[in-house]
Structure 1
């Protein structure tokens, strides 16, 4: 065993493979190549005299020895990261922060948060990608984004989800469609529009309609809330939408609330990061997210 020849980069590589699950994702996170990652792990295993990973298709699964090493080293690694960050200070954040957000969060809370950070740290640059929640989670796990504003529950051992607020949902339609829905007893001959099937709102919509008298003849899918709003305004169908995004339409009565008896629980939003990520920009965004008001 040659533990005196084990370097910090060997152990950092172990941490990121353990978190992200593949050599390719770890290579992207560490800004290196997959062969380099593979070589580091091979060196680490040789010097420890133990097998740390088993290949399961594309995924790399920790062995019992690998899990033990990661569990015992991770607190040390986090302490070291914290010490280095404190030594560097948080006053001069720079670099590129990659943010993933759903369309709802991007409209409601992200602009002010980004503006606050940019005002405080002018050298910090942002790259914002608008995606659905399922895609955001995959982006985080693959190291393609640093933080995600995600709708609905998020449960993954490699991720930390912090609740940041709820958004009220309501059923809406154009006045003409609302009138038709009120006139028809037992069934509304109007179509339903929704975000795609893997979105939390789609699941909440399907659950809410189970056992209800509404049986739409068809469900149209669209990945863009604003487009759904525009479709409804011209008199096509009804939808379950976040109320803050249709405030103007409700005030102007180009859209009105329907199915008032069929209320849906508010949608919880989370700020999601990789567990143990001590990047100073990520930590500052976590702190500032406590002040978000939906």
Structure 2
């Protein structure tokens, strides 16, 4: 029997995780025909089929599952040893990072700078989104590390707290507190699966305010621009509106909400890629600065 190369095993593990040859090809920076060729090579070496089609997904056969389960720890163990021997200086690959806007505006830039400086062979693919879709992508294996508004819990996820952000009730300079308390203007918020949405509702109830309308927008920076223009009020992260408050384009119209938004870095519980584990350890040491 010819030797089976490490890239054959890596290919099997990514197809198993992502479910299709096309997704594995994208993750491994190659083409779908190249992935198919690798699978054919290893199946010919072993003399058994390793995958079977289940709808649109490729599912490991019983023998394929045993091979991946047995070889996965060996593959990642060897990769870990080699990377540690070089102090991770030779780490390469593509890491898919997801973050919410608040995290992206606070701790993410320093994280990216550290990776670029100390892991120059690692390519980063960054997506900015809300917590709910980021969580789904992480658990589906299409995102490697995410920064989530939490707390969040899932048996498939390992998290590390990275700090919290204070919130403010803000409106444009021309809006008065009396207008806000009378429900005389619209209120804006992130969509209902965001922690800010629940905190907005709690604040309205606590102050007995029934707003003229409750609008949603899935972009915090756009919310800030809308509110600063005088079109309503919103609960906003203090870290992102500090300069606007100082400049007077926004002002606080109600007491600050007691709840803060907490943030966590997260990876999959079963993650074994040493590069991703190394970057998660770095992410866990980040701190979101809340200079409220």
TM-score range, shorter chain: 0.7 to 0.9
Q: Which residue in the other structure is 2:273 paired with?
A: 277
How far 1:120 moved relative to its partner? 4.3
Distance 2:82 2:178 in 1: 63
Q: Which residue in the other structure is 1:171 paired with?
A: 169
Matches within 5 A, 1:1-40: 6-40=4-38
Q: Provide structure 1 residue ranges, at least 5 long, that are not aligned to the other structure.
A: none
How far 1:292 moved relative to its partner? 1.8
Q: Which residue in the other structure is 2:179 paired with?
A: 180
Distance 1:77 1:92 in 2: 17
Matches within 5 A, 1:60-209: 60-91=58-89, 99-120=97-118, 128-136=126-134, 147-152=145-150, 153=152, 155=154, 157=156, 160-174=158-172, 176-182=175-181, 184=182, 188-202=183-197, 204-205=198-199, 208=202
Tell me how large the CA RMSD over aligned residues is: 3.7
Q: Provide structure 2 residue ranges, at least 5 long, that are not aligned to the other structure.
A: none
Question: Are positions 1:240 and 2:235 aligned together?
Answer: yes
* Secondary structure of residue in 1 paired with 2:104: helix
* Secondary structure of residue in 2 paired with 1:289: helix
Distance 2:153 2:70 in 1: 26
Q: Tell me if the contact between 1:94 and 1:124 (Cα under 8 Å) persists in the aligned partners.
A: yes
Q: Tell me if the contact between 2:53 and 2:59 (Cα under 8 Å) persists in the aligned partners.
A: yes
Q: Which residue in the other structure is 1:289 paired with?
A: 283
TM-score between both structures, scaled by the size of structure 2: 0.75
Task: Decide whether aligned partners of structure 1 residues 84 and 265 sit closer, same or farther in structure 2, where only a CA change above 3 A counts.
Answer: same
Q: Tell me if the contact between 2:80 and 2:274 (Cα under 8 Å) persists in the aligned partners.
A: yes
Matches within 5 A, 1:219-238: 219-238=214-233
Q: Tell me if the contact between 2:91 and 2:119 (Cα under 8 Å) persists in the aligned partners.
A: yes
Distance 2:188 2:26 in 1: 37
How many residue pairs get matched?
283
How far 1:177 moved relative to its partner? 4.6
* Deviation readout 1:214-245 (Å, 9 max, x if unpaired): 44443333333122112112222222222221
* Secondary structure of residue in 1 paired with 2:38: helix
* Deviation readout 1:167-188 (Å, 9 max, x if unpaired): 2334333462532122x2xxx2
Q: Tell me if the contact between 1:166 and 1:267 (Cα under 8 Å) persists in the aligned partners.
A: yes
* Secondary structure of residue in 1 paired with 2:35: helix
* Secondary structure of residue in 2 paired with 1:293: coil
TM-score between both structures, scaled by the size of structure 1: 0.75
Q: Tell me if the contact between 1:177 and 1:235 (Cα under 8 Å) persists in the aligned partners.
A: no
